[in-house]
Amino acid sequence: MKNSKTKKKSNWSLNIDEDELKKQVENYKTLKITESYRGISVLIISVFLGISLLLSIFGLYTDLVSMIFGVIIFLPILFFVYKGHRWAIILLMGVWTFEKFYQLYEIVQGNSGNVLITLGWWIIIMSYFVKALRVENARRKVLSSTHDTADSLFCHKCGVKLDSNSKFCSKCGTGLPSSLVNK
C-alpha cells in the first residue's frame, strides 16, 4: 500500500513545486490576480501602500509627503510587475529590500520599533517576489525554446515545427501553454 501523505505547501517558502510552476506558466494569461505570483505580489504591496497612505493622512505613520513620494515610486513598478517584466520584479525586490533595511536602520538608531517584525515582513513578502521571478524565468525559457529567430513555433517536448495556429503538436500531441496560443 502506498503512503499517500503529501507535504503541506507553505506560502512563505521560496520553492515552487513543478506542478504549480507548470500551472503558472501554462495559464499565465488566464490566472486571476489572486492566483498568479506576480498578481499576489502586486496586491500585497498595493495593500501595504494603501494602509500606509491612510495612516500617513491621519498622522499615525510617516509624513504625508514621504508617503506620496513612496506611492509615486511603487505604482509604476507594480504596473510593470503585473505585466510580467522581469526587470520590474527585480527592481521591486531591490526597492522593498532597501525600504525594509532602511526601516531597520531607523529602528536601531531611534531605539523604537521591532526588528523582528520588520525582518519577518521582509521575508514573507520577498518569498512571493522570488516565486514571481521564478515563474517569469520559466516562462522565458518556454518562450525561447518554442520560437526560433524567425518567430516560428516549435513543440517544447519533441521539437517539431508547428503551424502558427496550432494548439497541439501534430507529432506527439502535447498541448501548447495557453500563453503561447493565439499570439
Spell out the per-residue pLDDT of the chain, length 183, in tens: 444 444 445 566 778 888 998 899 888 888 999 999 999 999 999 999 999 899 989 988 778 888 899 899 999 999 999 999 999 999 999 999 999 999 899 888 987 778 899 899 999 999 999 999 999 999 888 777 655 445 566 676 666 677 767 777 877 787 776 655 554
Tally the domains of the chain: 2
Q: Are 129 and 111 in contact (CB under 8 A)?
A: no
Same domain assignment for residues 159 and 129: no
Query: How far apart are the C-alpha atoms of 83 and 77, rounded to whole Å?
Result: 10
My answer on whether 122 and 163 are in the same domain is no
User: Rounded CA gap, 133 and 41, in Å?
Assistant: 10
Domain range holding 115? 21-146
Same domain, 117 and 166: no
